[in-house]
Each structure stands twice: as C-alpha cells, then as structure tokens.
Amino acid sequence: MAFERTRLSDGADLFFWPTKKFKTTTVRVLLRQPLADGAGEGALLPMVVRRGTRSLPRPVELARALDNLYGADLRGDVIKLGEEQVLIFHVEATSGAYLGGEDPLRGAVDLLGDVLFDPLLEDGGFAPAFVAQERENLLRRIQGIYSDKAHYAQLRLIEEMCPGENYAIPRLGRPEEVEALTPVTLYERWQRILRTAPIAVYIVGDLPPERAQDEAQRLLSRLGRRSPARPGAASRHEAPAQLRRVTDHQPVSQGKLAFGFTADRRADSPDYPALVMMNGIYGGFSHSKLFQEVRERHSLAYYAYSQIDGLKGLVFVQSGIEFEHRAQAEEIILAQLEAMRRGEFREQEVRDTLAGIESQILQSADAPSEAIMTDFELRASGRPTDPEARIATLRRVDAEAIAQAARGVRLDTVYFLDGQEGS
Amino acid sequence: MARSLLEQRRLGEQLHYEEFGSGLRAFVLPKRGFQTRYATFATRYGSNDQSFVDSTGVRHDTPAGIAHFLEHKLFEEEGGNVSERFSALGAMANAYTNYTATTYLFSTASRFPEALQLLLEFVQHPYFTPQSVEKEQGIIEQELRMYLDDPRVAVFQNLMEALYHHHPVRVEIGGTVESIRQITADDLYLCYRTFYHPSNMVFFATGDVAPDAVFSAIHRLVPGERRAPVQRVRPAEPAAVRTELVRRAMPVGVPLIDIGFKDEPDREDPLRREVEMEILLDCLFGTSSDIYQTLYEEGLLSEHFAASYFSGEDFAASVLGGPSPDPDRLRERILTLLAAQREGGLSVEAVERSRRKSIGEFVALFNSPEAVAHSFSEYALRGLDLFAALAALDRVRYEDIARRFEEHLAQPRVAASIIVRTGEHAQ
C-alpha cells in the first residue's frame, strides 16, 4: 500500500493508491478542524449537506440517484483525532468492469461534489427543514451513547479525567451547542471550513493516475480561494495531584471498570514504538497479560483490553465485570502494569506481540476505508506510513525500552459504572 | 474425491471446490494481492440444535447455550489455550456461534500453512474437564451479562420470543446464566460427537493461498468416512405469532423497536426467496422508498433504521427497526403506510432500482475476504451456493416481487418489540 501524494490547491492534497485488489473505487474527503471550534456543528454538517442539493433538492431524489448508480454508497461522518475533529465524506462505487461496462464512478463523484459545494440553501443558510430534522437526529445520536455501556463508560472516564481540556469535548459535540445553532450560522461555519480546513482527498481503486487526478480536480473545482490553517498539536494533559475515582450507578447487569493513564510520550516521539509494544503485551491481544490474567486465569470477565491514544499520550483500560469483583479486578489489572514496569514479561510475549502488530499493519491494506484512515492518521501524528518502515521500528525495540515505557505510564483516573444501589 | 473449479467470469473470481471421502466440503477462493489469509472451519450446529436424536436412536434435549459453550471450550487443550499458539504464528483465531452454525476461523498475514494445520487439528480435538467447564462458566456469564445490557440484543431477542411459540430460534444463542450452569463435560462430548463430523462441516479459505496445498493439508489432517445426517428435532410451529407486542424498559438513551413479519420458509428454492425478499424490503423500506422518506421526515426514524430478511432452513421473517423517539407511533405508521402501499402497488422503476443496487452491493461483497468467507460458508452449510445469487438477481422479475408482497406482507403475521427508557411508561 503506497499512497501517492499530489498537491491539488492550497492546503488540499490528493492521496491516490492505484490497486486492482478491490471491486469498488473509493473516494474520501477529509477535513480537519479543531474540536474547540464547535464539535456539534462539525458533527451536524455531514448530516445536513447529505440531505439534498440544489439540483436534487428532495432527499428521495438523491437516494434514488445513488441507487441507480448500482447502490453507490455516499456517507458523511466525523471522527475525533486527538483534539481535532475530522469531517469525513465518503463515496464508494462498484467498478464498471463488473457491471457490464457501465461505470458509476463519475456520477458518484459528481453527486459528492454537489453535496460538498452545492447543498440546498434558503435565505443565506442551509434549508431550515433539513437543519431541524438533522439537529433532532444528532441529539438522538448523542443520547444514544447512553445505550452503549462500554462506550458510555469510556466517554465518562475521559470527561472526568480531562475536565477543561479540549480533549474532553465529545466527538459529536454537546447538546447545548447543537440546540443553539441556526441554519445561517451552520452554513457560515461550513464556508469557513471549506476556506480554512486542511483537505485530504483519498482515492483507492483500479484507475490510471490521470483519471484519479481528473476526478479529484473536478471534485474540488468549486473550491474557492483558501487560507488553510495549520493544525496544532493536542495540549498536554495535566495529571491530578491524587488519583481520581468516579462511580456512576445505573440499572445494569454488568459493571464497567475503566482506567485512564498518562504516558510519558506521544506518537511523534522517537520512543513511541516502545509504548506500542508495551500496550500490546499489556492488553492489546488475547495472549496479553490483561486477557490472560483477568479472563483466562481468574474468569472475571469476557473482555479486558488496553489501548493508546498516541496523539494525546494517554493509555486506557476497560473490562466488564461482576459488581462485587471490582476490587479484585482492579488489583489484577494494576498488578500487570507493575509487572511490565519490572520487566516481567517473557521473550515469547514480545515475539507474539510483534507478530500480532505486524499482521495488523499488513492487513490494514486489505480494506479501502481502513487503508485510507491508517494512512491519514499516521500522517496526522507525524509517523512513517510505509508498513515495512513501521515494522522495522517496532523490531528495534528491546525489553528494557518496553519496561521503561511502562514506567512512564501513570494511573490518573478510575471510573466504575456500578449497578443501581439497593437493587 | 470430486474436485472442481467454478469460474465466475463476471466477478473475476475462481472458486476451487473439493468434496472429501469424509464428507467434508472444502472451498478455496484465491485472492491475489491481499495480505490477509483467512480460513473458516464451520459445522452445521447452532443454538437451534438443542434437541436431536443420536445414531442409536436416543433423543437428547440439551441445555440452552450449549453450542456456544462448546465453541468456547474447543479452544482449550491440555495445558493451555490454542489461541496462544495462533498468536505465536502472528495469526488471530476466533469463533462465533449463531442459530444454525458454529464457525472457527483465523486470519494471518504470515505462516498460513502452520495456522491452517492448527485450525484443522484443534477443531478435531476436544478436551473438556469438569474444572475447565466450571472455569468457562464465569467467562461466559460475563459475556451473557454484556449482551443483557445491550438494548439492540434485547429488542431482537424479545421479537423472536414474540414471533415464535416453540421454534428454538426464540431461545438466546448463548443461553442464560442459569442454563449454562447445567452444562457438563459429558454433555459437551455428546454434542461434539454428534455434530463435529466432517460430513456436517464446511471449510473455506481465501486470500493469497494455493488451492492444491490447502486441499492436500485437509486430505492429510481430516480423516473419516462419510456419515448419515444428524436427525434434528424441531417442534411444530404455528403460522401465527405468539404475541403482537412486547415492551420492556432499559436504561437506554433512545427507545428502540423491531417489527417482525413471520413468513413460511421456502424449502424449494430458498436462495431465490432471499434474493426476492431483499429486493422487496429495499423497495418498501430502503432509503429510496416513499415509506422510509415519509417516516424520516416525520422524525420517527433515522439512518439507523434497517430492514432485512432473517431466515434459515426452517424459519423465516422480515425484520425491520432501529432507534425511534416514538416506537408506538412508528409501528402504527408503518402498518398504515404498508396498507396504503398495497393499494398503490410497487412501481416497476423501484424494483429495477433495488435490483441494480443489490447487484452493486453483491459485487462489493468480494472486496472483503472475511465477508465472502462468512457468507459463502453459511450458504454452503445449507447446501446453497452464494455465487448463484448473482444469477438469481439477473432473473428477478417485477411480477415475482409483487407476488411476494402479496403473499408475505398482505396478511401480516406481525409482532413488535419495543424498548423504552427506564422509568417511562414501563409495564
């Protein structure tokens, strides 16, 4: 997997990977924004522009146009990347080679272009009916997180761990902010994003480079004059003077125990690969210490894992347990980290972890969207994108470096979603 | 030993197939350029197979959740867990159980032959002790509790209980905390011997793999003689639904609903039935449909609303639903709009649009080695050929879809399952 980069205009680049592997062509536009600039607006924008365009003002018309293109898939969403929000616009069309020569790509890219640059407007803002509907949908998506207890626990952990930091702004924003916006302020924000956001256009598929260039140029042909902003790094997390403990109660069947740790390095550090290896041995795989001890040895949980946010320099652990096993599970989870710090892991654990991460790196090239997001996130965090180079840096990490990375990981906040009191 | 090559010129794929003396059917779909090499080894044994008659004619009724429990325990071997040996090869092993099948799989970017051998061996070597069974109960109990807190699981489970009187599809795949406590090592051996025979199994591999090497490994490692099919016991199921509406309160952010239309399974041509139903449901409830757009504008559903045909050899239902701020109103509106649609009929354009969409989506399925492996293997266990779906899509006619609309949705045997927020009109 190798994306070739071409400059399209000010702060807008094309990343193209020509490959015969897939039976679709994927085009993805990624726009980076600081989370602090209004994450609710950012989350709402892909939902609103996707509703209708000047030439296809009724949502049903846009839906039918896509279905007629052999079910071309046009979607918008947002992700959180450190303290940034990335607006994603995605269109994927089945290759003409498998459809008896009919090629839906051009039509699909034109529809994406209309969505981005020619949405349905009224009185200097987006169509009020679309904004009203999608505002309700977004508020419901935000409320819906409460239904997914593992996700909710992670969100609450970050909220308690990083109060006042931009990092604590949720991916979909906050309800107050979503309620306050208007069709006009939302459209102004959209114009500002198109003017200032760094733009990456990714294309993956079986196309000649000239065709990819041509599609990307045509897609962005309506992009006006720009003054792109430079994305800044995430702020440093301030560790508390003493351990924070937070417990919520809900009428649930299983407790969710979540830990937030600070690491002493971030993704742009030359020592970062040691933290990646440490996380893998600690809780990244089924051979890892957390899975082996919490699940296999003590039968306390079905899942127990750790993960890193490299842009912010934080490590998270979560496990779903019986309420009364809270203290025992916490003790075991923290004891595994202590063992890591003392260098108590076998050669075999290092080898298995390396093999597992290598497989993950190589396999990310097997799905168009995953290949795109991997490349995008690596670039955003200043890391090498070449799979072999990434594997080589991990191979160079020795046991002492791993133990040292573990010694730099400090417990900050423990969150527990407990059952209802008295029930 | 029958060996054949099924060429799918239109998809640019070649499928290699061999049926072994043991009765095992094996498929290899080489996909050059992919890093992931992927293999599944599946048995036609799911949660629906709780009751069966063994080869000596004795009937057995086993505890709910035993197929899933067996799936967990098969990873256990003397002195450890086979997952670790996959890890050491850089491979990830996994398994899942559904109503009709249990599937073991691994994916790897390296050392495929060793991982393949491991997969074929461990699935054929059960090792259960009372201690290890007891240990697993704690783990599975937490897995079940995780699902108990998941409202999407609950809304579907309650729908199955509303639609079906006796058919085992109404029982949770994983069983309950109580039912799994009854499972013993002897039960597991009995079910293993009954259902894990190569005659009852299908193997599938895809990625950058050589068919000859895969088939010769199977030949070497999967011995046995063909055996008669297992006799599965199924109670008679009435055509009517059991309850029209079930409602439960949970700590959810947004209420949920699933609506089910109970159908008679098609035993003649189930593949054609599925293809026709996917098109019909897309015409009626897909994003391009009048019903979807109307309900979206009324604020009753969101993009998470979905409709699909849920079916197996001896059960079938159309299931539609998703989160909704007012599930009762959504249910009422769907039934009203559906009746109106019946008056007006389906348009020829809508059917053609859905057919094109289905073709595009079918081709796109082959982007993903995992998705192809799972779909293909599930169909093959039922004796169906996934590739034939493409030809069936070509043959779909407007009249067939219109007829299905009349047959299936005109006299609706319909049930609904609703999850409301804790504290709100709970009953």
Tens-digit pLDDT string for chain B (427 aa): 467 777 777 888 999 999 999 999 999 999 999 999 999 999 999 999 999 998 889 999 999 999 999 999 999 999 889 999 999 999 999 999 999 999 999 999 989 999 999 999 999 999 999 999 999 999 999 999 999 999 999 999 999 999 999 999 999 999 999 999 999 999 999 999 999 999 999 999 999 999 999 999 999 999 999 999 999 999 999 999 999 999 999 999 999 999 999 999 999 999 999 999 999 999 999 999 999 999 999 999 988 999 999 999 999 999 999 999 999 999 999 999 999 999 999 999 999 999 999 999 999 999 999 999 999 999 999 999 998 999 999 999 999 999 999 999 877 799 999 999 997 654 4
**Residues A387 and A378: beta-carbon distance below 8 Å:** no
Residues B221 and B261 in one domain: no
Helix H, strand E, coil C: the string for A362-398 is: HHHHHCHHHHHHHHHHHHHCCCCCCHHHHHHHHHCCC
Interface check for A104 against chain B (CB to CB < 8 A): the answer is: yes
Residues B216 and B250 in one domain: no
Please confirm, yes or no, whether B71 is among the known catalytic residues. Answer: yes
3 state DSSP class of B270: helix
Supply the range of the domain harboring residue B389: 245-421
Among A302, A359, A365, the residue with its CB nearest the CB of B142 is A302
CB contact under 8 A, B357 and A70: yes
Residues A263 and A214 in one domain: no
On chain B, the residues whose CB falls within 8 A of the CB of A296 are 81, 139
Residues A212 and A284 in one domain: no
A260-298 residues labelled b (16+ CB within 10 A) or e (exposed):
bbbbebbbebeebbbbbbbbbbbbbbbbbbbbbbbbbeb
Residue ending a domain, choose from B211, B232, B253? B232
Please check whether residue B347 lies inside any domain of the structure.
Answer: yes
Residues A198 and A281 in one domain: no
- The 10 Å Cβ neighbour count of residue B393 is 19
Q: What proportion of chain A, given as a percentage, has pLDDT over 70?
A: 99
Residue ending a domain, choose from B209, B232, B255? B232
Q: What CATH number does residue A338 fall under?
A: 3.30.830.10
Interface check for A247 against chain B (CB to CB < 8 A): the answer is: no
Interface check for A19 against chain B (CB to CB < 8 A): the answer is: yes
User: Which residue in chain A has the smallest CA separation from B300?
Assistant: A137
Band (pLDDT 50/70/90 cuts) for residue A423 is very low
From CA A187, how far away is CA A68, in angstroms rounded? 29
Which tens digit of pLDDT belongs to each residue from A334-366?
A: 999 999 999 999 999 999 999 999 999 999 999
Please check whether residue B237 lies inside any domain of the structure.
Answer: no
Residues B262 and B392 in one domain: yes
Among A60, A136, A299, the residue with its CB nearest the CB of B299 is A136
Residues A157 and A17 in one domain: yes
Please check whether residue B427 lies inside any domain of the structure.
Answer: no
Name the DSSP class of B406.
Answer: I
On chain B, the residues whose CB falls within 8 A of the CB of A25 are none
Helices and strands in chain A: count of H runs, count of E runs: 15, 13
CA angle B338, B340, B345 (to 5 degrees): 90
Domain count, chain A: 2
Among B10, B146, B250, the residue with its CB nearest the CB of A302 is B146
Per-residue model confidence (pLDDT) at position A60: 97
Q: ipTM value, please give it.
A: 0.93
Residue of B7, B13, B19, B71 marked active site: B71
Residues A199 and A285 in one domain: no
Please check whether residue A235 lies inside any domain of the structure.
Answer: no
String of DSSP letters for B311-357: EETTEEEEEEEEE-S-HHHHHHHHHHHHHHHHHH---HHHHHHHHHH
Interface check for A302 against chain B (CB to CB < 8 A): the answer is: yes
Please check whether residue A150 lies inside any domain of the structure.
Answer: yes
CB contact under 8 A, B297 and A60: no
Interface check for A69 against chain B (CB to CB < 8 A): the answer is: yes
DSSP strands (E only) in B240-314: 245-250, 256-263, 306-312
Residues A212 and A250 in one domain: no
Residue type, B96: Y
Band (pLDDT 50/70/90 cuts) for residue A200 is very high
**Residues B256 and B418: beta-carbon distance below 8 Å:** yes
CB contact under 8 A, B107 and A359: yes
Please check whether residue B238 lies inside any domain of the structure.
Answer: no
Please check whether residue A208 lies inside any domain of the structure.
Answer: yes
Pick left, alpha or beta for residue B149 (phi over 0 → left; psi -120 to 50 → alpha; otherwise beta). Answer: alpha
CB contact under 8 A, A19 and B252: no
Closest to A142 in 3D by CA, of A47, A261, A235, A250 = A47
**Residues B304 and B285: beta-carbon distance below 8 Å:** no
Residue with tokens 């998506």: A141
Supply the range of the domain harboring residue A124: 4-220
Residues B308 and B249 in one domain: yes
Residue ending a domain, choose from A163, A185, A220? A220
Contacts of A199 (CB under 8 A, 6+ apart): A8, A11, A12, A13, A29, A30, A31, A220, A223, A228
Which tens digit of pLDDT belongs to each residue from A300-334?
A: 999 999 999 999 999 999 999 999 999 999 999 99
Residues B91 and B143 in one domain: yes
Closest to A413 in 3D by CA, of A283, A284, A241, A276 = A241
Which tens digit of pLDDT belongs to each residue from A252-266?
A: 999 999 999 999 999
Band (pLDDT 50/70/90 cuts) for residue A422 is low
Please check whether residue A225 lies inside any domain of the structure.
Answer: no
Residues B131 and B10 in one domain: yes
What average pLDDT does the segment A297-302 reach? Answer: 96
From CA B68, how far away is CA A302, in angstroms rounded? 14
Residues A159 and A263 in one domain: no
Where is B141: in which H helix or E strand? helix B130-148
Residues B305 and B375 in one domain: yes
- The shortest C-alpha distance from A306 to chain B (Å) reads 17
Residues A284 and A327 in one domain: yes
Please check whether residue A32 lies inside any domain of the structure.
Answer: yes
Residues A207 and A286 in one domain: no
Among B91, B136, B360, the residue with its CB nearest the CB of A94 is B360
Sign of the Cα torsion A321, A327, A328, A329 reads positive
Band (pLDDT 50/70/90 cuts) for residue A23 is very high
Please check whether residue A178 lies inside any domain of the structure.
Answer: yes
CB contact under 8 A, A70 and B288: no
Residues A214 and A252 in one domain: no
Residues A215 and A250 in one domain: no
Residues B124 and B222 in one domain: yes
Residues B220 and B250 in one domain: no
Please check whether residue A284 lies inside any domain of the structure.
Answer: yes
User: Which residue in chain B has the smallest CA separation from A293?
Assistant: B139
Residues B100 and B137 in one domain: yes
A43-63 residues labelled b (16+ CB within 10 A) or e (exposed):
bbbbbbbbbbbeebbebbebb
Residues A57 and A181 in one domain: yes
CB contact under 8 A, B253 and A252: no
Among A71, A72, A296, the residue with its CB nearest the CB of B81 is A296
Residue type, B121: E
What average pLDDT does the segment A397-423 reach? Answer: 93
Q: CA torsion angle for B227, B231, B232, B233 (degrees, to 10)?
A: -170
Q: In the predicted model, what is the mean pLDDT of chain A?
A: 95
Residue ending a domain, choose from B173, B201, B232? B232
Residues B16 and B143 in one domain: yes
Residues B19 and B63 in one domain: yes
Question: Which of A46-50, A95-99, A219-223, A405-409 is the least confident region?
Answer: A95-99
Q: What CATH number does residue B140 fall under?
A: 3.30.830.10
Where is B417: in which H helix or E strand? strand B414-421
B interface test, pick of A19, A21, A23, A152 with most B CB neighbours within 10 Å: A23
Interface check for A351 against chain B (CB to CB < 8 A): the answer is: yes
Please check whether residue A301 lies inside any domain of the structure.
Answer: yes
Domain count, chain B: 2
Per-residue model confidence (pLDDT) at position A348: 95
Interface check for A396 against chain B (CB to CB < 8 A): the answer is: no
Cα–Cα distances in Å, from B265 out to A352, B111, B312, B316? 47, 43, 8, 5
Per-residue model confidence (pLDDT) at position A26: 98
User: Which residue in chain B has the smallest CA separation from A68?
Assistant: B353
